[in-house]
Amino acid sequence: MRYPEIDIARGTAVILMLVFHSFFDAYYFGKIELSGAFWYYFPRFIGGMFIFISGYTLSVVRPDAGRLKKKILKLASLAAIITAVTFAFVPSEVVVFGIIHFFTLATITGYIFLRYPKIQLPAGVALFVMGLVISRIKVDTGILVWLGLISYSFSTLDYYPLLPWFGVFLIGMFFGNVAKPKGVRLNVPVLPYLGRNSLKIYIVQHPVIILALHLLYGDVIQQILGVWPCT
């Protein structure tokens, strides 16, 4: 069963995601400047929205093992493709644990926490705070990047480690238990559709944005192909 309230919330996050990535891609190809605290926190707020909604949805829907395996396989496959594509085009900033990688692991781990609703909130808060603390620590290895411990030279286009973000996921799960949606259909245009197709939109957004930037500026595709260096 789909819940319009969840689709609308996720659709709102999709709109914000598209806005940010349009600006980010323009910045990445040297067309605009982005600086200041807003552009640091804005994408993290958007990612946090998706993560909270995902945790909330897991508690509400409570998928069976079959649906869960299918979802995990789809996410894991997409995560592997993202890593491969970024390695091919931007090896210096390859995505090794972006938000789709996070959702793959968080869905597995969150399914375990479905059995323990009473600890979802305290565990979520504790893990979030712990993640903020360890994010200040640098290590000499890259094997713990998935957890939130990065090396001094680590650089990536997208990074959502288990800590602190699984804390947000668990907090979402908690609210999914105590504030369930009513399933009432709301007369809101576009947003429910975007929410229902958020993963598909995530997949196609960058090619579409890049094409639009190329039509606007005329040299973006050349930069991708290496004709001109990216500035």
Render pLDDT for 44-71 as a digit per residue (tens, 0 to 9). 999 999 999 999 999 999 999 999 999 9
Q: Tell me the whole-structure pTM to 2 decimals.
A: 0.94
Render pLDDT for 66-118 as a digit per residue (tens, 0 to 9). 999 999 999 999 999 999 999 998 999 999 999 999 999 999 999 999 999 99
22 has a pLDDT exceeding 80 = yes
Between residues 230 and 127, the one the model is more confident about: 127
Residue type, 155: S
Render pLDDT for 125-167 as a digit per residue (tens, 0 to 9). 999 999 999 999 999 988 999 999 999 999 999 999 999 999 9
Residue type, 3: Y
Mean pLDDT of 119-124: 98
